[in-house]
Structure 1
């Protein structure tokens, strides 16, 4: 009874700092942070350069303000030459409205054979009345880059420039953009397989009321999103990146990743949260000690003060504490009449996982390319969580896949400092701006 009561209390006390539970499910109060205190106040520091609006060297409009009237001595200012000028600038948007371009194709009739010939319209002019590439790009930019729903996207365009595209028009823009980005996605897949270190994560992404999954594979300069009905290996194979990747893959120990040929590195931040949960809610002393040792060695490594002797001592201590964890969490005996493996305690499972994947947990100590955590993938996943909060999901699988491809393009451009706006406009003008696939 005491064990069951402790388990129930631990479940009620779970939050994003003691488990893999997302921060959106935390209670209203601020969870504890893993960051060490620096003693500095929050906000900009004294040596921060700061930013302010700068004067433009090439203003678009210049308004001269003459001195008029008379001086106190009676001299008329109109008769006095200008000595110098003091300039002030106002940076503002111009009056926005749609610019309508009418194409008039000449039609001629041959006087001899009476054959009728019309001048060709530009390739992007396909209808009698249509929106141009910048309007199409703006609808995609608002919907995919900033998660604005279709109806509100239409309202924004109507308020700003007088255009009111329908939901169907915006959906067609998303379909067209996804179609024209197929070559980008293929080249992105290939580029990711050549990266030395990749990060992977996944999150729920409802489609028509059913739970689907959004998977991300990324690095500092490239992002690939994939929508799939499954969370496991079938989804990873469908994305066509990780099944042939042999570099280092950083993840959170989801079992499907271990079926891939990559060299594995496990997220230390997830491990710290689980150890904190065991120490605070289950009274597992070994977990608290391992957490503090892990935090100390990470910060020493980050500061460049970790000696080879200290690294060796930590690894020895790591193994000792895991043995203590197994002793504190003995194996549960088989349940008579029940098939399959017996369910073990969370503490025992965690200790066994760390033993089994010891090299992956400690790889950050031996390879400077490997980060301690999986923050890269978690930052990339965050955008999808915002989309889910705003819209709740997608109406169709095709819509989710289109959104994933366009979002991959936007995220990659952002990481490389390229203009997302110019990129989206280029998609609709037919000459897609490609990022650097060998960063």
Structure 2
């Protein structure tokens, strides 16, 4: 049986936009269209859509490298029952997803965006990001959660004080009431509290006979990280383009977590990569207020509806 372009688009729309598994997609098509495409037919539609979106992905990569601020994050993604990783690089109007077997540098190189990006990259302090040439900004929401855990579960007074100071200066900055004097006072207090944190968490002595660095407490590691990356932690105070948190990337990652819960992982690495490219297209259209349905139909008519790459 031959299917029309809208039926092909509908299979992709259900599977990628709404995370409906292949078998259930067939059932829905049978109920709506009196035709039941096989899993193989739906997979071919996904392959065809991904192939026709190669040009979109190329333009998307270029557009993202030109943005002043980008957000990055990653989450687990199963392929044939094995753990792989889905990476996201995004801004308010553009989204790129990349499926890869690795979490670190190899995946970032394969995505061909961040290794040549020179703007501001907001992330959650994963070590691989610090090897990139971007200017770094660390997620304040992650830091607040870590400080709260130290204060409430480990009795670290300095962590509670630093959390409260961070919250106060953020809300003053957001309200436009933060004076230069208050900013300077906060930064001085920030440094003092980190020193208190190091005193409260002395360095663990080396373990006889064990190679490598000695494992330190979470409190000490957090204080050292904030000292080492002080500029990245406090960049939101000095550059109004920089948000306090990494919510943009976390919102973009959340859809992938929903997909994982609803329909599980992928049968092959190629399937994951195809899904990522199509999902990049769908997310970008959604952010720009464009019709996802019209976009997917255009993919199968051969005249792909392109989003705005210079939002």
Give the TM-score band, short-chain normalised. over 0.9
1:373 is matched with 245
2:117 is matched with 245
1:317 is matched with 189
SS at 1:163's partner residue?
Answer: coil
Runs of 4+ in 1 over 4 A off after TM superposition: none
How many equivalent pairs are there?
311
SS at 2:83's partner residue?
Answer: coil
CA distance in 1, matches of 2:126, 2:259: 23
Show CA shifts across 1:267-305 (max 9, x none).
Answer: 000000000000001100000000000001001111111
Show CA shifts across 1:297-349 (max 9, x none).
Answer: 00111111111111111000000000000000000111111000000000000
Show CA shifts across 1:96-144 (max 9, x none).
Answer: xxxxxxxxxxxxxxxxxxxxxxxxxxxxxxxxx4101100000000000
Q: CA deviation at 1:357?
A: 0.2
SS at 1:278's partner residue?
Answer: helix
What is the TM-score with the length of structure 2 in the denominator?
Answer: 0.99
Alignment map for 1:153-232 (pairs within 5 Å): 153-232=25-104
SS at 2:27's partner residue?
Answer: helix
SS at 2:78's partner residue?
Answer: coil
SS at 1:343's partner residue?
Answer: coil
Q: CA deviation at 1:161?
A: 2.3
Larger Rg: 1
Q: CA deviation at 1:163?
A: 2.0
Q: C-alpha root-mean-square deviation of aligned residues, in Å?
A: 0.6
Show CA shifts across 1:144-186 (max 9, x none).
Answer: 0000001111111111221211111101000000000000000
CA distance in 2, matches of 1:391, 1:414: 21
CA distance in 1, matches of 2:249, 2:165: 25
Show CA shifts across 1:243-286 (max 9, x none).
Answer: 00000000000000000000000000000000000000110000
Show CA shifts across 1:18-53 (max 9, x none).
Answer: xxxxxxxxxxxxxxxxxxxxxxxxxxxxxxxxxxxx
1:430 is matched with 302
SS at 2:97's partner residue?
Answer: strand
Of Structure 1 and Structure 2, which has the larger fraction of its residues in helix?
A: 2
CA distance in 2, matches of 1:145, 1:404: 11
Alignment map for 1:4-403 (pairs within 5 Å): 129-403=1-275
Show CA shifts across 1:186-242 (max 9, x none).
Answer: 000000000000000000001001100000000000000000000000000000000
Show CA shifts across 1:33-77 (max 9, x none).
Answer: xxxxxxxxxxxxxxxxxxxxxxxxxxxxxxxxxxxxxxxxxxxxx
Runs of 5+ consecutive residues of structure 2 not aligned to the other structure: none
SS at 2:209's partner residue?
Answer: coil
CA distance in 2, matches of 1:163, 1:349: 59
Return the structure number with greater relative CO, CA threshold 8 A, min gap 6.
2
CA distance in 2, matches of 1:340, 1:157: 58
SS at 2:259's partner residue?
Answer: helix
Q: CA deviation at 1:411?
A: 0.1
What is the TM-score with the length of structure 1 in the denominator?
Answer: 0.70
CA distance in 1, matches of 2:19, 2:168: 40
Show CA shifts across 1:80-111 (max 9, x none).
Answer: xxxxxxxxxxxxxxxxxxxxxxxxxxxxxxxx
